[in-house]
Chains A and B, each alone.
Chain A
Amino acid sequence: SAVISQKPSRDICQRGTSLTIQCQVDSQVTMMFWYRQQPGQSLTLIATANQGSEATYESGFVIDKFPISRPNLTFSTLTVSNMSPEDSSIYLCSVVQGTNTEAFFGQGTRLTVV
């Protein structure tokens, strides 16, 4: 199973600023995903991080607000830009290692915007 390290684990940020979240995996993975979990809600997929190309965003999420990088097969970053209190959520990195296999999740980054 893949071991995922997500940093930071939590942060409190001022509105209008940006935060970059890192996701490091201990082995090469096929797919990497970023999810958001708003307070009391289920997980919502933000985007698929594509290695060497632009991420693929789900409806309602745009690159200007959530730029994503994936420079190699073990690392990705998600930036939450120009933050507002509505961005206060847990952000989770997820990876898949092959076809028809399970996804593994990081422990998440708990973001509070004040």
Chain B
Amino acid sequence: DAKTTQPPSMDCAEGRAANLPCNHSTISGNEYVYWYRQIHSQGPQYIIHGLKNNETNEMASLIITEDRKSSTLILPHATLRDTAVYYCIVRVLIFYGQNFVFGPGTRLSVLP
């Protein structure tokens, strides 16, 4: 089972910031939080990841609470092309490698 919970869907107005929440209350100290998105009919696309500090790149910002039990992905100026399913993933480390467990994600609709 996925170790995260996300709202099933969200709407955002074009040009506004999209804030996507994720709960991961059972996260372990050495587990990272990853965000991916999947635009219709494409493979998942990596967005950002972090351990405890806030992170920013050209696509988004990741805000992780101090207790690491939740995080928020921020798309600062959403465009119609950001309409996708967004997955929050806690990295599961297993003895033979590293596995990404996908939950149902949040379907973000950016509205004109």
Contact = CB atoms under 8 A, between A and B. Distances in A.
A42 B102 contact: yes
Interface string B73-104: 00000000000000100010000111111111
Size bracket of the A interface: 20 to 34
Contacts of A77: none
B32 A43 contact: no
B97 A31 contact: yes
Interface in A46-96: 48, 50, 56, 92, 94, 96
B44 interface: yes
Main secondary structure of the interface of B (DSSP, over half): loop
B105 A48 contact: no
A107 B43 contact: yes
Contacts of A108: 41-43
Nearest to B101: A45
B99 A48 contact: yes
B97 A42 contact: no
B97 A96 contact: yes
Given A102-B34, A102-B49, A104-B46, A96 B105 contact: no
Nearest to A96: B98
B48 to A, nearest CB: 9
Interface in B29-60: 32, 34, 41-46, 49
B35 to A, nearest CB: 10
Contacts of A44: 102
A36 B104 CA distance: 14
A103 B103 contact: no
Contact of A92 (B34, B43, B46, B97): B43
Given A4-B43, A100-B98, A104-B46, 17 more contacts: A1-B46, A33-B99, A33-B100, A45-B100, A48-B97, A48-B99, A94-B100, A96-B98, A99-B98, A100-B91, A103-B46, A103-B98, A103-B100, A105-B44, A105-B45, A108-B43, A110-B41
